[in-house]
Amino acid sequence: MKNQENPRRQFLGNVRRAVIKVGASVLAELPVARIRSFAADLALLREGGIEVVIVSSGSIGMGMTRLDLKRRPRQMPLLQAAAAVGQVELMATYEDALRAHRIPTAQVLLTGRDLDSPEHFLRLRHTLMSLFDYGVVPVVNENDSVAVDEIVGSDNDLLAARTPRLVEADLLVMLTAAEGIYAASPRKGGEVIALVTEIDELAARISEGISRGRVQRSLASKVRAAQTAAQDGVPTLVASGIRPGVLANMLDDETIGTLLLPSRLRRSRKQWIAEGLAPRGALHVTADAHRTLVEGHRSLQAAGVASAEGGFGVGDVVRLLDPGGSEFARGLVSHGAADLQQVQGKDPVEMEQILGFRHSDEVVRRDDLVTL
Ligand code: GLU
């Protein structure tokens, strides 16, 4: 089918990196078989050049089985304990399933607060980017030992919705037990909506509340996640994680799930780095560094920093100033002001000698930088 006839192809044809969220309901039954089936699909996606981050729930369910708990505990510490136990098995299952396709995996546990903290956000981002460099499929979950937001609230929907920005993904996939978002209750003959172009309108309609059942709440949470992803220009596909081959076919098969489109497509990094966050300092760069940065997609090295102003920390936004003092770029800085003062003008070997460690050779990585 030609592009203009198939909106899914038009919007999903160029996906390079996807965040795929696997809900607890999907792994409530047959978790091992389902994860194996996802792994087979992921191998196909990767053959097509698509990188993937998984955000997976399921630790509580697996922990309950392991601890022989017949019913979901009501006390939070016991839920957290079940999550801690189940996380081991959850990861072992992903590891096993992906290993069969020679795909390495990694466990990344985080909390909403980590995404709020500029430093944790940047360090997470760099870790995940390094995992991609090595062909790893990271599996993210909330660190339920220290946070309970996703246990109480949205079963990782919120965390998943914030992950596209973290890794610059261009698609969010929410796998759930339902086939997608329904126009009306399926029991009353409602069908899955194939395409949503007005996410906010749908969210308002849903929050007016059709019914307050568990499935409705879960789907409302998916629509809220799609709203968050849409702020970064990222489309969201809500689809059934029970349907075999869902991940392998989702980009082409228009009968799969509900696709929620953002009002404008991704110009995201520029938006949130240059316009969304308040700068906490400024770096004056040398003439050489200015030239390389404006000419190409390059990082700012410490050697290219002439001087720094402001009390910024790791992960804060800084303004980059040319030798004439004019701002020409903004970026997320990989070193705090105190460290940077010691290493400005130095090469990576000297940096390591001065700081005693080597976390990032660059002061602002090219992926964390936008020219204005
Ligand atoms: N992080 C939790 C898990 O992986 C969230 C899901 C839940 O509350 O059941 O199981």
**pLDDT at residue 212, as a whole number:** 62
Q: What angle do CA 364, 365, 370 make, to 5 degrees?
A: 80
Q: What is the rounded distance in angstroms from the CA atom of residue 153 to the CA atom of residue 332? A: 30
Q: For a pocket test of ligand 1, which of 79, 142, 154 has the largest count of ligand atoms closer than 8 A to its C-beta?
A: 142
**pLDDT at residue 214, as a whole number:** 73
Strands 317-321 and 282-285: parallel
Amino acid at 104: P
What's the CA-to-centroid distance between 83 and ligand 1, angstroms? 7
**pLDDT at residue 2, as a whole number:** 46
Are the beta carbons of 279 and 338 closer than 8 angstroms? no
Q: What is the rounded distance in angstroms from the CA atom of residue 78 to the CA atom of residue 347? A: 51
**pLDDT at residue 210, as a whole number:** 53
Q: What is the rounded distance in angstroms from the CA atom of residue 214 to the CA atom of residue 120? A: 33
Q: Which ligand 1 atom minimizes the distance to the CA of 63?
A: 10
**Contacts (Cβ under 8 Å, ≥6 apart) of 246:** 41, 175, 239, 240, 256, 257
Low-confidence ranges of the chain (pLDDT < 50): 1-3
Are the beta carbons of 298 and 337 closer than 8 angstroms? no
Q: What is the rounded distance in angstroms from the CA atom of residue 338 to the CA atom of residue 115? A: 23
Q: What is the rounded distance in angstroms from the CA atom of residue 297 to the CA atom of residue 305? A: 17
**pLDDT at residue 1, as a whole number:** 43
Q: Where in the chain do CATH 3.40.1160.10 domains reside?
A: 2-267
CB atoms within 10 A of CB 197: 12
What's the CA-to-centroid distance between 133 and ligand 1, angstroms? 29
What's the CA-to-centroid distance between 106 and ligand 1, angstroms? 18
pTM given for the model: 0.93
Q: Give the CATH fold of the 2-267 domain.
A: Carbamate kinase (3.40.1160)
Amino acid at 274: A
**pLDDT at residue 271, as a whole number:** 78
Distances (CA, A) of 304 to 286, 299, 308, 319: 5, 10, 11, 14
Q: Which ligand 1 atom minimizes the distance to the CA of 90?
A: 4
CATH of region 270-371, choose from 3.30.420.40, 2.30.130.10, 3.40.50.620, 2.60.40.10: 2.30.130.10
Alpha carbon nearest to ligand 1 atom 2, residue: 57
What's the CA-to-centroid distance between 318 and ligand 1, angstroms? 36
Q: What is the rounded distance in angstroms from the CA atom of residue 356 to the CA atom of residue 342? A: 12
CB atoms within 10 A of CB 330: 23
* pLDDT 10s digits, 55-71: 999 999 999 999 999 99
Ligand 1 site residues (CB inside 6 A) read 24, 57-60, 83, 141-142, 144, 150-151, 155-156
Burial class (CB in 10 A: 0-12, 13-18, 19+), 338: exposed
